[in-house]
């Protein structure tokens, strides 16, 4: 039946205001429904306690809610609770693997040529440990070149493939199952950066064949400061300690310590208990919406906006073909600075978009593109808003051109 965006908007306090913005920066951060905000508030008002460190009822309730959030997230993404590790975001989840994997000198990490800095820089930093990072180029149209991956993996020195599942540049979805099969055939593990994918469509980590899958709840209608690494049991067991301290140990003496098993082994110190409460509410909300419907809605708005923008003088769409993409529309400007357009869109029309390099400096540098404007859609965005983006952009660029 599809999503009813107008009805959904009523659940989001920011969008219920008379001066509500046209929020089109969902690839960075989604807005929060009232149920998520209330869950966070309820933690602070009713059970503002630590989990796992006391036997009084409130503490036990917090611990159960944390584990309920873990089970819900694992179920939602096709993972397993016992190998789902909470982090503060997808960036930390990726860094956990980078620091805790049992690397050997000469190991190679392969990435695509369109990785967010969070799935690029951690691998570059491993050079001091004798680990090499290499990039496998995409096809000319921006889609993944599986034949190039097959050829590179055949050399047998790759320990890990780290690839974005859905690109934050343009919403392009890579053929993850095929990539997983190639990696495993070559004896390598696969890490997928799922920060965009988990927010905008259904994900089944087990079906994809990923050994590691990183997500951020702030892109999934949830609070900031909560992310997760979902892993297969054998993959998480291969990881050594990342951060240690409270809640990671079974016992200590003055001389040594015995670590707990995953996931506790990786969750050192006081956790974001309010964030877990909000995350549980966010997952429940997404379940009610239906992720197939969320994906179809975002893709329809992307296509509507992209087709409208194709006819606007002074800009060009960038990224992979529309058929391979989800809810993201990036475009470069011929004679204007992307930040100028973003400022004017907000100032004149209350439209909020992203501008610049989108933490994808490597891609923009390689393609000699001086930044772009990116509009990204969520379940509460409407066709009216997609059309307003097109018309406002057209009008601003026409005015800028006439002023020159």
Show the domains of the chain with their CATH numbers.
Answer: 5-31+290-403 (3.90.1150.10), 36-287 (3.40.640.10)
CA distance 327 to 171: 6
Give the number of other Cβ atoms within 10 Å of residue 294's Cβ. 22
Length of the chain: 404
Q: Alpha carbon of 125 to those of 91, 119, 266, 303: distances in Å? A: 14, 11, 21, 38
Number of alpha helices (DSSP H) and beta strands (DSSP E) in the chain: 15, 15
3-state secondary structure of 366: helix
Name the H helices within 154-260. Answer: 176-185, 197-200, 205-208, 233-237
CA distance 152 to 150: 6
Report the pLDDT value the prediction gives residue 2, as an integer from 0 to 100: 87
Report the pLDDT value the prediction gives residue 52, as an integer from 0 to 100: 81
The closest alpha carbon to 163, from 196, 130, 185, 140, belongs to 196
Name 317's Cβ contacts closer than 8 Å, sequence gap at least 6: 306, 309, 310, 329, 330, 331
Report the pLDDT value the prediction gives residue 1, as an integer from 0 to 100: 62
Query: Whole-prediction pTM value?
Result: 0.97
DSSP 137: P
CA distance 27 to 50: 32
Q: Is 359 a catalytic residue?
A: yes
- The helix or strand, by DSSP H or E, that contains position 385, with its residue range, turns out to be helix 383-403
Average pLDDT by consecutive 10-residue portion of the chain (404 residues)? 92 96 98 98 97 90 97 98 98 98 98 98 97 97 97 97 98 98 98 96 97 98 98 97 91 94 94 98 98 98 98 95 96 95 98 97 95 98 98 97 84
The closest alpha carbon to 355, from 335, 338, 333, belongs to 338
Given a contact cutoff of 8 angstroms between Cβ atoms, the answer to whether 153 and 178 are in contact is no
Name the H helices within 318-379. Answer: 338-349, 361-366
Name 233's Cβ contacts closer than 8 Å, sequence gap at least 6: 80, 82, 83
Report the pLDDT value the prediction gives residue 187, as an integer from 0 to 100: 98
Catalytic residue among 359, 389, 390, 397: 359
């Amino acid at each position: 039946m599809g999503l009813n965006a107008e009805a959904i908007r009523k659940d989001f306090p920011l969008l219920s205001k008379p001066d509500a913005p046209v929020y089109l920066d969902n690839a960075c951060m989604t807005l929060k429904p009232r149920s998520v905000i209330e869950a966070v508030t309820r933690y602070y008002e009713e059970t503002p306690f630590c989990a796992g460190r006391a036997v009084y009822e409130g503490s036990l309730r917090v611990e159960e809610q944390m584990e309920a959030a873990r089970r819900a997230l694992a179920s939602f993404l096709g993972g397993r609770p016992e190998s789902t590790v909470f982090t503060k975001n997808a960036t930390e989840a990726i860094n956990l693997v980078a620091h805790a994997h049992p690397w050997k000198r000469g190991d190679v990490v392969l990435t695509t040529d369109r990785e967010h800095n969070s799935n690029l820089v951690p691998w570059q930093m491993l050079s001091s440990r004798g680990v090499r990072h290499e990039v496998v180029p995409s096809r000319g149209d921006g889609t993944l070149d599986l034949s190039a991956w097959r050829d590179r993996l055949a050399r047998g020195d790759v320990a890990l493939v780290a690839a974005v599942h859905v690109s934050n540049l343009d919403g392009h979805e890579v053929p993850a199952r095929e990539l997983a099969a190639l990696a495993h055939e070559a004896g390598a593990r696969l890490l997928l950066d799922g920060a965009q994918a988990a927010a905008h469509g259904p994900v089944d980590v087990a079906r994809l064949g990923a050994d590691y899958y990183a997500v951020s709840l702030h892109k999934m209608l949830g609070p900031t400061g909560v992310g997760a690494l979902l892993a297969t049991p054998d993959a998480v067991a291969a990881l050594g300690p990342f951060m240690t301290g409270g809640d990671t140990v079974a016992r200590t003496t003055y001389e040594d310590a015995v670590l707990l098993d995953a996931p506790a082994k990786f969750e050192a110190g006081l956790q974001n208990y309010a964030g877990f409460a909000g995350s549980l509410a966010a997952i429940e909300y997404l379940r009610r919406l239906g992720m197939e419907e969320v994906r179809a809605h975002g893709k329809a708005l992307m296509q509507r906006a992209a087709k409208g923008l194709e006819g606007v003088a002074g800009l060009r769409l960038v990224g992979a073909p529309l058929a391979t993409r989800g809810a993201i529309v990036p475009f470069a400007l011929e004679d204007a600075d992307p930040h100028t357009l973003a400022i004017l869109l907000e100032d004149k029309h209350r439209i909020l978009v992203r501008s610049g390099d989108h933490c994808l400096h490597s891609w923009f540098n390689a393609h000699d593109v001086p930044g772009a404007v990116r509009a990204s859609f969520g379940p509460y965005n409407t066709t009216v808003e997609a059309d307003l983006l097109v018309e406002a952009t057209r009008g601003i660029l026409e005015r800028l051109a006439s002023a020159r």
